[in-house]
Amino acid sequence: EVQLVQSGAEVKKPGESLKISCQAFGYSFRSYWIGWVRQMPGKGLEWMGVIYPGDSGTRFSPLFQGHVTLSVDKSTGTAYMQWNSLKASDSAIYFCARGDGNNWGSYDYWGQGSPVTVSS
């Protein structure tokens, strides 16, 4: 069974760093893209970017380029998203999702979401 299991809720202060994870089960991790989507409280979905575990190639939305870093650990089948300096406006739920790369907006399996709260 395909599953994406994300790390738990985080509470951070502005300026702190954070790395959240998304571990894949039940399929060939290297063969599918992992996309990341932000959902701010009570709002819609925003596409942040994708990473291809096979070669760690990435593609970012201009809105998020330079603000987050995407990486993978192929040995554990885990994708990561990292911030070096959080802002209060980064408070949101972050979803990872699996895509095949043929249709960039199509993601067939999703993680449960990682809530992030940034507050002083």
Partner 1 sequence: QSELTQPPSASGAPGQRVTISCSGSNSNVGSNFVNWYRQVPGTAPQLLIYNNNQRPSGVPDRISGSKSGTSAYLAINGLKSEDEASYFCSVWDDSLNGRVVFGGGTRLTVL
* Residue 110 found at the interface with partner 1 (CB under 8 A): yes
Of 60 and 80, CB closest to partner 1 = 60
Total residues interacting with partner 1, rule: CB under 8 A: 23
* Residue 101 found at the interface with partner 1 (CB under 8 A): no
Dihedral sign from CA coordinates of 2, 32, 100, 19: positive
Sequence-distant (≥ 6) Cβ neighbours of residue 55 within 8 angstroms:
none
Pairwise CA distance, residues 64 & 75, whole Å: 27
* Residue 11 found at the interface with partner 1 (CB under 8 A): no
- The candidate with the shortest Cα–Cα distance to 30, out of 11, 12, 1, 55, is 55
Q: How far is CA 111 from the centre of its chain?
A: 9
Site string for partner 1, 44-83 (x = CB under 8 A): xxxx-----------xxxxx--------------------
Residues that bind partner 1 (CB under 8 A): 35, 37, 44-47, 59-63, 95, 97, 103-108, 110-113
